[in-house]
Structure 1
Amino acid sequence: MNRVELDTRKLNRKILNVYWLIIFLAIIIKLINYNFTDAPLGEYLIYFVAIPGVIGALIVIGSEVAVRLDNPVRDFIVITAGLLIALNFIYSRPDLIIVKAALFLPILTSGAYFKKKIIIYTTVLTIVSYSILSVIDPMLRSSIGVIEHFTLLAMLSIAALAVIGITERGLELTEHYRQSIEDQQDLLVKNTLMEKLSKTDSLTGMYNQISFHQYLNELLAHHSQYHFSIQMAIFDLDNFKQVNDTYGHRAGDEVLKQIAELIQKEITSDDFAARYGGEEFIVLFVGKPMERTIILIEGIRRKIEGISFRVLEGSRVTVSIGVNEYETGMGKEAFFEKADKLLYSAKRNGKNQVKTG
């Protein structure tokens, strides 16, 4: 399983903010707790408030410096700082059993990194550090029995196992979520590709016959409201069967692709071009006067006539074109049929020409 690498800079900043808050709250609690002790005020403030507070602040400041310098082991330093803060609390009040719960702070915090090695490092360091402190501090040693001591260590180990389990589950869910997102993206790409393939001609990349009829239906629906100009031009290559018979279908396909590219290059962004089938192309010219459209079509015809096709050993091809302008109320079928009749009129009258009506 691929693990998600987290950027821990923001996490470390949040943890350090929590450390500052813990130190501040600890000072407030200790000041309030003075009312329940018999210690002299001056001694209490120095040994139970000021010294632990300053030590805690120095620990966090050291971690702040490591994080700002982008130390490569900054995560371990921040976690270690949490342990030192916990030990500082315990050392300052070893008589209070509840304070020993602070040992769970670094272990629980280590889980936020979602790294098993950090959790294990924190747990081992916590157990070893507390055990050493118990040996060297007689007050701490006398405040808790041997059974209680080992019970606490066992609870720390159990807490670590629980944090590892939660972390592993979190990583599994994160990986599952990431994989789900990738699957959705793949599906979206495939659907987009399938939609494009269903609308375009595989050889030329132009829209296909189905797309043409869908677009024409929408265009005529808009025309009934806004009454903009529409012209339909049907292009048909002259004697194309002879090209295929002489040079082969692969050469014929190359000719079709080059002509499709030329047509799409010459028309404007408002126009719509499609391969209608075989050697026929249709272009819908939108928002132009008929005179402007004729100029564009004549330009395309001359450029096609001027191409010396390498796949045809330098031979040229010509195209016949029928152009018709839509009239309100004409209807789709009549619009198409008139352009088609004009095309065949161009064919009968010698080919390589534009017929309008």
Structure 2
Amino acid sequence: MISGDGTGKSMFLEIHKLIKIMIAERELKFVDTLFYPSEVWLDAIKHLNFVFDLSEESLDYIRMHTGFITGVAWFQHAHQPYRQWNSERLKNELPLIQRYEELTNGLPEKYAIEEPCNKSAINNLGVRYNNKLISNDVLRYQRCITNLYNSNVFEHLENEISHPVTVEIGAGYGGVAHQIASAILNKGTYIIVDLPEILFWSINFIRINNPDKKLWIYDAESFDLDEFKRSYKNYDYIFIPNYMSEILKVLESVDLYVNLLSFQEMSQQQVAFYLDLIQRNLNGVFYSENFSKHWMNTELTSKLHHLYEKCFVMHPRPEQYSSIECSNDPQELKTVWNLFPFIMCLNGQQNTVFKQVPLHTPYGIIG
């Protein structure tokens, strides 16, 4: 367990140690199993492991390196003259800000998100607008927040659930985890399941931007399942390596499952495993935003919405995306990277958790 102010050499070394132990445990026990990284991710983590060599001081700037995960470089806006404009009216002419205004129109202020900014250099990531730092990644996370708010999911979590439990499978650097956990009145427990190498990113991003939160990180040397079952609600953030994801079966219920740009990069068997896991304890909604099928991923043989349909009541219905269906043909560049947001509840479960309203997508409102 890690808690407190999230700083100090001992914490820096402890996180390194725990992640290295996770990687060693995986290589010893889980090679050639369901829990070994897909080919897509085996290739990716080779280019992401440089982060282990960063100093403690450099890790404070981890957000400047996350473009290697998201594909959005930190310098996209850094040297643009509009960053120095003093007029909010002029900034409102920027496509970045126009899209942000569309996504936040009518939202309570606390749901209009921004980049957490622990260092002045982070300002290079985007544009200051109405005292908020807006970046391209913020737009993607704002879409998720807006869809969950408009669908009444947050109202349910805040007013009906005393201690919401959220599980995100494949959280990347932890960007949307920080935003969702902050949005629902800073209460509840947010659990991240990911490859150990990527957990290193999200642990550091979360601890840097949430220094007062209690963090629990899986430790192979001391883990006790019964103790975890008794105490998991005592923590704000929990970090579990993917090969230990079966311990989620002990959770009484999960109010919100989240998967953004992750299932699309797994094998067919891995996606099936997680969908089975979700069905075991989902007592709320599952929010997914993925490509229909990543064209480089040969280990995923079905389009994701075909797998979802077997388990969940989906909104929007997949056919409502038919005019922009991803063909999975890399020659058709206009459609190959289309993203498809869905809000879902279990088949046979009476939907009292979310309202079926049109969802914001990267190409307009659908549903």
TM-score bucket of the superposed structures, by smaller chain: under 0.3
* Greater strand share, structure number: 2
Normalising by structure 1, we get a TM-score of 0.23
Normalising by structure 2, we get a TM-score of 0.22
* Greater helix share, structure number: 1
- Higher Cα radius of gyration: 1
